[in-house]
Amino acid sequence: MIDHIFGRPSPSWKRTQVSFVLIFWIWRLVYGREVPPRLFWLRKMNRALARFSPWQIIVGTLTAMYASQNLDKFLGLGAPEPLADLYSPSYYRATWIATGLDAGFATAMAIRPKWLRDICAILFSAYYIIYANEADEKVRKFRAAPTVEFLRTTWEKTSNPYIRLFSWLPKMTIRRVIQIPRPSSSTYTRPITVHLFFAPHASKLAESTELILDIPGGGFVSMTPEHHEERLCAWAEKTGRPVLSLDYGKAPEYPYPYAVDEVFDAYQVLVDTAGAVIGMSGRGLEIIASGDSAGAHILTCVIIKILESKGLNLKLPLALVLNYPALDFNFTSWMSKDHLKVLRAEDTSATLKDFTVGGRSDDWDSPVAKGSNSPRRLRLRRSTPSLKGLNDGVMTAPQRTMGFTPLEVESKPSCSGRALPGPKTLSGNKSSVTTTDRGGKLPTKGEGGVQTDLDSPENTTVAHIRFSETGSGDPFDDQDENHRASIGRGRVTMTSRTGYFQDRIIPPSMMRAMAILYLSNRNPDFSTDYQVSPIIAPSEVLARFPRVLMQCGEKDPFVDDTIIFAGRLRESKRARLRELSTKMERGECSEPEGEEWARLNAESEEDWVEMALFPEWSHGYLQMGRLMKEATAVIVDIGVWIGEVFEGSKATGSPQSNHSHKSHIGGDSIPSDAGGEADSGIGSPSLLPSSTSAASSGNSSASHQQQQLLKTITEGELLRRRRLLGV
């Protein structure tokens, strides 16, 4: 209160206030009279309490204090819970524990020496895990003005010796830190530090020709491969291949572009020596590169640098695995027109009546959808049709709502009896889907302008309005069809960074701090500098990217980066294929272009880019394997996918996938139709493929129970949940 009176919030003022209060009451207890002063009814209360024992008085006082602090909850006067419907139960539990640990480690951050700090961090964390609200408040204050020390302390907590004591990792025959030299063409002299993980017998390393190269995340400022060991060891064990993770220079000591240059140098050394620099065979090296968060950003920038480097002729990786990548430093509130073009469908005349459950829409060709020319694709069981008209902002009568945007309608399982796969479905909670009845009947208008299904208790809908917009009036007033069909065009859409600004893992204040630290010596033009924001890379560069697997949580602040980048990759490769096809028809293709045309023409869009969006998850789930079993299943499934890409490359001489299989994620797939094609369009699923090889089948059987935990949503469903409805 003192700091409020003086108008200067300060920890020192708070410390002074607490000191004065404690001194006064301790003095009063020691030197004061045993009876209270003659004030109001204090003496009568004192005599009434004399019949209770001191223990009863203490317990009663604490109980009364607890009741008074929570009185608003009993009376219904408490503030709404903003995270009530944001995350799945398992992810929310994981963030609760992570927040408690963050609060405990941040509290102990200033303690010296280190051995005492490590002990206190664990003790404080136990307290804050129990008192979760206090943990939220403490972490909120630290994150409001984050420092490098805070970021590194809270994100690198798995290096605490007492946490590591209770951590189990698969047994590795080789787990060592290596320093490799820079290539002769590099302008840097500092050696590159890498961590090597290998599960088979150590002698097998010298025979290895396949490598998993990992670029760990950490917001550009923290975290080494040591803090990602859980997934790195899992991949080494699952695939039987060596896993090499780079400990690149972190900001602010090593700002942009140091990390990109260091990873590029490491990749060049590995390719030039065919892995011999780390003890591999030295012949025919094949690499699959992975990265998460900031690491995925760095990896993407490195691929662009490889594609644009002249004279080096570096071989590209077989495939990339990008987990919740941060690909855009242009932290704006509204999506740009170019990005909206990627998200919008080319056909905007459809209405809800054009779609049925599991129906096809072969005329659909959105860049964020699967193409209709794929020889085989899987259909995800779902209770909602492909709502292609909604993603262009076109509004139809049943969509008309109350002047707020966007509107999410949550319902219990649909009348069709087939609910959208996801953690909510698994746990029996409500699924965020718009449902229809068995006959495809459109939802009807309910009271208050909220669209509802049948008037059944099992299909009661609740509207959750996330963002408001100017405009008023009766939302159901009569308008002509032309006006109704045009009002959605050109409207603005909020970015996921703004929409999920209350994220429990990476709020806007931390994004800002990391961006400032990383770009401290540079003032880029975010609208044109694709070396900083690879999401705006030229199409001719993206068309040459290797196969990409992208994964992200639906509620991740960076989910837009995943969707837009995946869409741009598909769009760029489609355009390149059309260009080469035209040249082939005219007989103008050179030999390299002919080879490129043959490769692109033989591949399906699933070979270009695959995407898995996990409903009700946010950022950093690969770090939560010890806290949520679904995250462990994701780690295992990525390892299976990597192994299958390597095996497919051996069998065909290219990383093209085998499509005659079932998906790991989302449970058993629905087989394609008789024509060999599955439904296309923005509602088509983006699933991880698997192989039918004997080795892969064994791996799949071993992890079958974990894979059943994995459920994804389609790009279309994610966009539908975040759609912008007209007024």
Report pLDDT digits (tens) over 648-671: 888 776 554 444 333 445 433 323
Secondary element (H or E) of residue 341: helix 337-343
For position 702, what pLDDT does the model report? 46
Report pLDDT digits (tens) over 617-649: 999 999 999 999 999 999 999 999 999 999 988
Q: Which of 187-201, 392-406, 713-727 has the lowest mean pLDDT?
A: 392-406
- Mean pLDDT to the nearest integer, 446-470: 36
Quote the mean pLDDT of the chain: 75
Confidence of residue 10 (pLDDT cuts 50, 70, 90): confident
- Mean pLDDT to the nearest integer, 561-567: 93
Confidence of residue 525 (pLDDT cuts 50, 70, 90): confident
For position 710, what pLDDT does the model report? 65
For position 523, what pLDDT does the model report? 84
For position 62, what pLDDT does the model report? 92
Residue 181 in this model has a pLDDT that exceeds 90: yes
In 35-173, DSSP assigns E strands to none
Q: Which of 306-320, 328-342, 594-608, 694-708 has the lowest mean pLDDT?
A: 694-708
State both tokens at 530.
């694709």
State both tokens at 227.
């803090």
- Mean pLDDT to the nearest integer, 86-100: 93
pTM of the model: 0.73
Q: From CA 637, how far away is CA 639, in angstroms rounded? A: 5
Q: From CA 607, how far away is CA 549, in angstroms rounded? A: 9
State both tokens at 449.
């302008």
- Mean pLDDT to the nearest integer, 470-489: 41
- Mean pLDDT to the nearest integer, 84-88: 85
- How many other CB atoms sit within 10 Å of the CB of residue 678? 22
Residue 251 in this model has a pLDDT that exceeds 50: yes
Is residue 616 within 8 Å of 555, Cβ to Cβ?
A: yes
For position 487, what pLDDT does the model report? 35
Indicate the DSSP class of residue 443.
P
- Mean pLDDT to the nearest integer, 479-483: 45
Q: From CA 481, how far away is CA 595, in angstroms rounded? A: 50
Alpha-carbon distances, residue 514 vs 251, 378, 622, 723 (angstroms): 8, 39, 20, 29
State both tokens at 43.
């003496």
- Residue 538: asked if its preceding bond is cis (omega within 30°), the reply is no
Q: Which of 71-75, 165-169, 276-280, 675-679 has the lowest mean pLDDT?
A: 675-679
Report pLDDT digits (tens) over 507-519: 999 999 999 999 9
Helices (H) and strands (E) in the chain, counts: 26, 12
In 352-450, DSSP assigns E strands to 407-410, 444-445
Q: Which residues contact 377 (CB under 8 A, 6 or more apart)?
A: 370, 604, 606, 659, 672, 677, 678, 679, 680, 684, 685
- Mean pLDDT to the nearest integer, 432-461: 37
Q: From CA 339, how far away is CA 342, in angstroms rounded? A: 5
State both tokens at 523.
């003032």
For position 348, what pLDDT does the model report? 33
Report pLDDT digits (tens) over 101-140: 999 999 999 999 999 999 999 999 999 999 999 999 999 9
State both tokens at 217.
């995340």
